[in-house]
Copies of this chain bind each other. A is one copy, B any other.
Amino acid sequence: MAIKLGLIGVGRIGKTHLRNISLFVPELEIKTVADPFANEQTVAYAAQFGIKNVTKNADDIFNDPEIEAVAICSSTDTHAEYIVKAARAGKHCFCEKPIATDIAVIKNALAEVKKAGIKLQVGFVRRADHNHKAVYDMVKSGKVGKPHIIKITSRDPEPPPIAYVKVSGGIFYDMAIHDFDMARFLAGDEVEEVFAAGAVLVDPAIGEAGDVDTAVVTLKFKGGTIAVIDNSRRAVYGYDQRVEVFGDKGVAMNSNDIPNTATFADANGTVGGTAYQVMWTRYEQAFVSEMKAFAKAIVNDEEPPVTGEDGLYPVLMAAAATKSCKEGRPVKISEVDV
């Protein structure tokens, strides 16, 4: 018998999870979909995957005793509240990243999760990516040895709308946060200090909105590992995602993912295909994998691969990076951990 799940929020990411769970995760069955803006299109989209219950009220999910798990895909400012509700209702919880931007709010939600004993998985989807996971596996196997230097390149094809930049918390909260999680994942250690160098080189409007669009962040881990992340809001060649872990026994790295291996050569050189242009295609398989992992954690009563703690630390790092970038000095995690 499949575990009954309620899905909250049917925007782009919600639609993706709805489809993936329906097609590829037989252990989960979406019973109800909730979205305050649910309309005919929402009903039609859900129906396409055999889901009949569509509601504007998320409480219809929390109050349904048959529902064992929820997937929170609503806007960031509602995540923590819904986690708390899920915890109190005793329902396992998959929550999109970040849990919140306010650290006290996150800690409160995690406390409720702990008290309730539910499982909470945070949607850091890149841990499930085939290329990144392959590097992680090499590190995990011990062949890289102790990590000395970690390099993460993470560039988006296009900046988000300025309206979004204004409310997202900025590049470190809405974009680098994935890389902060990846750095911890690859290092197997916690960050002690963050130094962020930022610049406005892509679009002056981003600077006017109080953010930077280009950044290089140095992370010092407790065990000595140094990581460096470089971010840009606009890579004209498309989505660029690479990681490298250099250790005392060797180096593991991946190259950017490309849709095919075909090349063409003439007197102008050898031309390979462009990178992926959209995140959804780039991480298509990873979105499926993370949801399978969530189902597996519930079924086997295991810890999910990305825990609530894993949801907290990247936000601390984002807070430190934001402060570091503004004040032009390295900032310790302890300075922002209230």
A residues bordering B, Cβ < 8 Å? 23-24, 26, 48, 130-131, 133-135, 138, 143-144, 146, 148-149, 151, 153, 155, 195, 197-202, 214-216, 218, 220, 224-228, 230, 232, 234-238, 240, 246, 248-275, 328-330
CB-CB under 8 A for A270 and B268, given A148-B232, A232-B149: no
A138's nearest neighbour on chain B, judged by CB, is B264
A135's nearest neighbour on chain B, judged by CB, is B262
Query: Do A249 and B224 touch across chains, with their CB atoms under 8 A apart?
Result: no
Q: In whole Å, how far is A223's beta carbon from the nearest beta carbon of chain B?
A: 9
Query: Do A249 and B220 touch across chains, with their CB atoms under 8 A apart?
Result: no
Closest 5 CB pairs of A and B: A250-B266, A134-B262, A237-B265, A134-B260, A270-B272
**Measured between alpha carbons, how far is A240 from B266 in the docked complex, in Å?**
11
Q: In whole Å, how far is A87's beta carbon from the nearest beta carbon of chain B?
A: 33
Partner of A271, one of B135, B254, B268: B268
CB-CB under 8 A for A330 and B228, given A248-B202, A254-B260: no
Contacts A138-B262, A216-B226 aside, 19 further interface pairs with beta carbons under 8 A come to A23-B23, A130-B259, A131-B261, A133-B260, A134-B273, A143-B264, A146-B201, A149-B216, A149-B230, A151-B153, A195-B330, A197-B220, A198-B226, A199-B225, A232-B246, A251-B264, A252-B262, A270-B274, A330-B330
